[in-house]
Structure 1
């Protein structure tokens, strides 16, 4: 009830009914309240920040590309570098990258707060270029692991900064839609790695080309960020008022600078307030609950088993008798299709509903995998159920569990702690991701698919219960209303 009486601007200006009837601002559209009553709102243009957001999404594209680049190429890499048949070595090629990502992620909050969002993006591109070059030219396992570690540090830095940047430069009425762009970019990166990696089994040394290709978008990210807008939120927190106003005008237009400054003044006091945020503040006290929610949400996302599918789908398809290139292309198409649907629904159905439906659907899909592994049905039926269950799992993930957590966290964290809190939660993400990549093949051999997939399904159901009890809906709410719902007053 208290939130209804709070006047919010959220980067747009209000117009009177008469003015709106006589003529709508060219950049404006009509908005509808949750009660169904039309209200007159002149929004800033959604087109102005779009180029800057697309540049930022290059980091998410690289994230997806490097997640999938070893999928089709791992067999060729192991043969050429002399560790074929060693599941531990193969797991290290996958998970060393994730270990580097953990390191990059831990420092992402301090880097993005200290240097700014633009410089953080450029810094994440540098180790990706160096690491890809090392992996492409190595003649042994050690060089591959070192290159993957360097790439990982950039991967760990990029996603949390991208989530921050997109939420901070997006108009509120399309924040959910633009927040989905990072997931779509990740899907495109995964698909690109699958398409480019397809000839690896037939063309000797093609896997080296796959690593060289990744240096191109990394170089573009570093170059184009030089011409992109800095986050007004970051500039305001650093006390750079004139630059903040200039970037607000660049992103939203001159008529929206005043309302944008008013919005920023509600969340921040300006100056160097950001420098006094200590790591200990995130682990106890008034911010503990939101950090815990974010950390558990990312942990459950990874414990669902999704990255086991992305890393080792070729192995699973091969065991089911399906050509891995065809199967992986299907995974990529389903993943990006679901992400596009999520983009459309994000600001309509809301974040919480998408999360609940997504995790429940993933549990059902894992149930199909368990049945397929039990040999209850005939051989052909098991084949269809196994492949269909995997594709259904990926589809449900892309509808909610994939795109929502990063966006949701950038909304529920107060701007004062946002970057560092994102770093903590993403660090949890990478720790779980690391062990899934390292141990999946060994656990599959030790436990068998029935037990392992059942465990994944139980984590998905646990996520449903957790989201139902702890996650608040942020659709249609100002950042101030979200903060008041989650953060108790001093």
Structure 2
């Protein structure tokens, strides 16, 4: 399968405004709780049990909304299409961001936080889903990996915004400006969305083959490919696989699709792997570290603007490592990278926990400095291995007819685990301190073993070919055709001589 052209890359990277939406909007709370003016305005004592519960609720409600959003998008994406779903999710995020920025009561803020979670839950599912369906097989890791890279750019922007707002003289404007800027990425996405093409796989699956073929030609046309054989091959493969699914009764509607997902062994396996993968991502402690990082620096006797600057630098480094991750996926594969990453994350958290237990609350600059070092070592492993990889893998392992449901369910694992970890974190910090981090040392090691033993590699395969890795039949395996077989197929497709041609790989 050929590489994408310039138009293909523009489409994939424009839709990362959705990635930026998720990244900034999920990370901004980490910057906001680092601004004392936020707690002053809402009259919250951060050191009290009530203050800890409210802080936990801001993250818990966001994660709860995200979980519901992930499930809702599984219906919406198949009902109205990928493109219209992107427009709806962007609109929800704009409204939620405006309400958060204008909140005059903590209850109003918490409701808006839940709404934002719902919106970003949808956008965090539909973005990699859409990217995977418009990307060619041999560039899919890099293209879908851009989701992880740009969402971390959003993390970094949130961190630097919080750092800059700390110096504003108007204290109320400090946190309101941070929250108001949540509106910018989804607004850009909404304004530019009419230019986006609909997913060709969605079009073909809904009996709009001519439109699907036109989109494929625009996405994959190369100057040397005058007959658009790449687009013809992909259309043929999509049609053959969808016909196979239809004959076997796979395409049965949204509700029956869920029943099939849980009743068919190969589908249950994919659901489990996708959900568990995103859960393992959160079990590294990434979101707890990100959202409460300023408080962690306080525990290392760092106060004032310094924690906000370290937080911003941390997120910026995370973005760079995600970019590296996206470049390596199509070369080294998904599974080896994630296995190494989980082990590295566990070692890093162990080092940080030791520093926090031994030097936390003291003036030992060397010990606390090593604590900061281990936080940066953690994000080096996490950003370089887990973030982008998990979105690529979870969006590519499901067949077209249930990809929206499978991807949404997988990403819901991120929010389900986030809900547990982030809501418990403030109370746990106040009660058991560093011992809470033992979870993030042990679970990733278990996850690394599970992935190394059971998760199949998907590098270089077309979306329609990945099913064979999970025991399903595939209609045609283009990736492993011989040169002679490939030439015969291309000739037949160009001259429209084949509809049900049998080619055995």
TM-score range for the pair, normalised by the shorter chain length: 0.7 to 0.9
User: Would you say how many aligned residue pairs link Structure 1 and Structure 2?
Assistant: 448
Per-residue deviation, 1:47: 1.4
Residue 214 of structure 2 is matched in structure 1 by: 246
Q: Identify which of 43, 66, 76 aligns with 2:37.
A: 76
Q: Identify which of 52, 62, 67 aligns with 2:11.
A: 52
**Is residue 217 from structure 1 mapped to residue 202 from structure 2 by the alignment?**
no
What's the TM-score once normalised by structure 2's chain length? 0.85
Q: Identify which of 281, 290, 295 aligns with 1:315.
A: 295
Residue 23 of structure 1 is matched in structure 2 by: none
Contact 2:356 2:368 in 1 (8 A): no
CA distance in 1, matches of 2:82, 2:300: 45
Counterparts of 1:313-352 in structure 2, within 5 Å, are: 313-322=293-302, 323-352=306-335
Per-residue deviation, 1:267: 2.2
Q: Identify which of 395, 414, 425 aligns with 1:429.
A: 414
Per-residue deviation, 1:73: 1.6
Q: Secondary structure at the match of 2:41?
A: helix
Per-residue deviation, 1:487: 3.0
Runs of 4+ in 1 over 6 A off after TM superposition: none
Residue 361 of structure 1 is matched in structure 2 by: 344
**Is residue 442 from structure 1 mapped to residue 427 from structure 2 by the alignment?**
yes
Residue 462 of structure 2 is matched in structure 1 by: 478
Query: Comparing both chains, which one has the higher relative contact order based on Cα–Cα distances under 8 Å and sequence gaps of 6 or more?
Result: 2
Contact 1:109 1:419 in 2 (8 A): yes
Per-residue deviation, 1:480: 4.2
Contact 1:237 1:274 in 2 (8 A): no
Q: Secondary structure at the match of 1:107?
A: helix
Post-superposition CA distance 1:383-403 (Å, at most 9, x none): 122111111111111112111
CA distance in 1, matches of 2:376, 2:299: 16
Per-residue deviation, 1:361: 0.3
Residue 240 of structure 2 is matched in structure 1 by: 266
Per-residue deviation, 1:488: 4.1
Structure 1 window deviating more from structure 2 (276-285 vs 66-75): it is 276-285
Structure 1 window deviating more from structure 2 (456-465 vs 419-428): it is 419-428
Where does the alignment leave 5 or more consecutive residues of structure 2 unmatched? Answer: 222-226, 475-505
**Is residue 275 from structure 1 mapped to residue 217 from structure 2 by the alignment?**
no
Residue 449 of structure 2 is matched in structure 1 by: 465
**Is residue 198 from structure 1 mapped to residue 157 from structure 2 by the alignment?**
no
Residue 28 of structure 1 is matched in structure 2 by: none
Q: Identify which of 382, 391, 394 aligns with 1:406.
A: 391
Contact 2:326 2:389 in 1 (8 A): no
CA distance in 1, matches of 2:453, 2:3: 35
CA distance in 1, matches of 2:301, 2:429: 18
Residue 152 of structure 1 is matched in structure 2 by: 117
Per-residue deviation, 1:435: 1.9
Contact 1:117 1:161 in 2 (8 A): yes
Residue 33 of structure 1 is matched in structure 2 by: none
Structure 1 window deviating more from structure 2 (225-234 vs 321-330): it is 321-330
What's the TM-score once normalised by structure 1's chain length? 0.87
Per-residue deviation, 1:274: 6.0
Structure 1 window deviating more from structure 2 (252-261 vs 393-402): it is 252-261
CA distance in 1, matches of 2:3, 2:446: 40
Structure 1 window deviating more from structure 2 (427-436 vs 474-483): it is 474-483
Q: Secondary structure at the match of 1:291?
A: helix
Where does the alignment leave 5 or more consecutive residues of structure 1 unmatched? Answer: 1-11, 13-42
Structure 1 window deviating more from structure 2 (141-150 vs 319-328): it is 319-328
Post-superposition CA distance 1:128-153 (Å, at most 9, x none): 11111111111110110111111111
